[in-house]
């Protein structure tokens, strides 16, 4: 009897542990179909079914869940979104964080759910960055917002003429730096043509073509267009390199940066205090892919950099609970 009661209690605990997932799911579905926006124009279940051909009972259940959670309310037959859900989960809102949930539900969860099969079959998935380009760009931009202050402080201290961002993506850091009226020239290199095309377009729209240059190339083989750089950044790049290849990456950077230069590395760190849970989950996602690699541990990173002739200057927190840090190195 006691054993059975214990079993029921344990099951109840696991059920309760999963309950906090419900608001995330409700928000994700609302963002995915832009339902918060659609109901903001005054809609009922029936009018949504008529207009978009939605399955009525599924929609009703989603709406009922939203009411329970306070994400929406009912005024008669009409559904009304809360101000918060409309602000953060309407696709057209400047403040939307919906892509974060898209990343969770469409990239991370499927990979984590395939773990049993992958463990048994010794088969990993292949990450196709192009499928989730917009999602990854949006979530990276959130990190960029938090990390930019640290980068700007390094640049202010260094007053560089020639700055390189390896794996620059769509060039957010470089363009922000260029706009801050820094005197230097800012160079981005990325192996993704889509990213470089978008970065060039953005730079051109903002009149930054002269100050910011983008190159579509692999950093390992890139033919550097000019002399040594004063600052080299590698932001969220290390999980594209196997742990064995990271020392060579730093050696490559050592060839590109001047004697008094600075190397800035923004990255999640594995199992760093404060970010244990997030980094464990994020690392599991990396491990599920044959072309992504485990997150670096802080000590490993310092060792790889040291082997290539760099010493650690500073470690600044970007998102503590996300285990995200901004580290800077100088030549020994």
Ligand X SMILES: C[S@@+](CC[C@H](N)C(=O)[O-])C[C@H]1O[C@@H](n2cnc3c(N)ncnc32)[C@H](O)[C@@H]1O
List interacting residues with ligand X (CB under 6 A).
136, 140, 144, 166-169, 172, 189-192, 195, 218-220, 235-237, 240
Task: Report, in Å, the least distance between residue 247 CB and ligand X.
Answer: 15
* Residue with smaller CB distance to ligand X, 235 or 283: 235
CB of 316 to ligand X, least distance (A): 15
Tell me if 332 sits within 8 A of 311, measured CB to CB: yes
Strands 162-166 and 72-75: unpaired
DSSP 329: E
Distance of CA 208 to the CA centre of its chain: 25
Minimum separation from the CB atom of position 218 to ligand X (A): 4
Task: Give least dist CB 133 to ligand X, A.
Answer: 9
Residues 6 or more apart in contact with residue 121 via CB below 8 angstroms: none
Residue nearest to ligand X (CB): 167
Contact indicator for 91, 37 with CB cutoff of 8 Å: yes
**What is the bridge-based pairing of β-strands 212-216 and 185-190?**
parallel
Nearer to ligand X, 217 or 315 (CB): 217
Identify which of residues 44 and 192 has a Cβ nearer to ligand X in the complex: 192
Residue 317's DSSP bridge partners are 325
For the chain, the residue count is 332
Closest CB to ligand X among residues 161, 192: 192
Closest separation between CB of residue 188 and ligand X, Å? 8
Classify each residue of 221-252 as buried b or exposed e, where b means 16 or more C-beta atoms within 10 Å of its C-beta.
Answer: ebeeeeeebbbbbbbbbbbbbeeeebbebbeb
Q: Which residue number, 71 or 239, has a Cβ lying nearer to ligand X?
A: 239
| In the complex, minimum distance from the CB of residue 68 to ligand X, in angstroms, rounded to a whole number | 36
- Judged by beta carbon, residue 99 or residue 190, the one nearer ligand X is 190
Q: How far is CA 153 from CA 119, 142, 178, 254, 260, in A?
A: 44, 18, 14, 22, 17
All residues at 6 or more sequence positions from 47 whose CB lies less than 8 Å from its CB, including other chains: none
């Amino acid at each position: 009897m006691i054993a059975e009661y214990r079993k029921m209690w344990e099951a109840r605990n696991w059920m309760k542990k999963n309950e906090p997932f419900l608001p995330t799911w409700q928000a994700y579905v609302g963002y995915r179909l832009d339902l918060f926006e659609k109901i903001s124009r005054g809609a009922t279940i029936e009018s949504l079914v008529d207009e978009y051909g939605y399955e009525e009972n599924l929609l009703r259940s989603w709406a009922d869940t939203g009411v329970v959670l306070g994400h929406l309310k009912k005024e008669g037959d009409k559904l009304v979104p809360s101000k918060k859900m409309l602000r953060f989960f309407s696709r057209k809102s400047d403040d939307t964080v919906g892509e974060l949930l898209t990343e969770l539900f469409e990239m991370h969860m499927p990979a984590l759910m395939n773990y049993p099969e992958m463990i048994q079959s010794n088969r990993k998935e292949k990450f196709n960055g192009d499928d989730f380009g917009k999602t990854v760009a949006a979530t990276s931009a959130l990190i960029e917002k938090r990390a930019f202050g640290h980068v700007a402080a390094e640049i202010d201290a260094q007053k560089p003429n020639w700055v390189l961002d390896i794996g620059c993506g769509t060039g957010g850091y470089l363009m922000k730096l260029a706009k801050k009226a820094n005197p230097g020239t800012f160079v981005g290199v990325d192996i993704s043509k889509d990213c470089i095309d978008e970065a060039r377009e953005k730079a051109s729209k903002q009149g930054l073509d002269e100050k910011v240059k983008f190159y579509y190339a692999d950093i390992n083989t890139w033919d550097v267009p000019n002399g040594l750089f004063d600052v080299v950044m590698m932001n969220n790049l290390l999980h594209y390199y196997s742990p064995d290849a990271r020392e060579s990456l730093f050696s490559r950077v050592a060839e590109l940066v001047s004697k008094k230069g600075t190397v800035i590395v923004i990255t999640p760190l594995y199992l760093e205090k404060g970010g244990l849970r997030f980094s464990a989950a994020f690392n599991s996602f990396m491990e599920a892919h044959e072309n992504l690699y485990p997150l670096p541990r802080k000590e490993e990173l310092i060792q790889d950099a040291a082997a290539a002739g760099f010493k650690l200057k500073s470690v600044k927190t970007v998102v503590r609970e996300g285990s995200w840090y901004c580290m800077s190195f100088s030549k020994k």
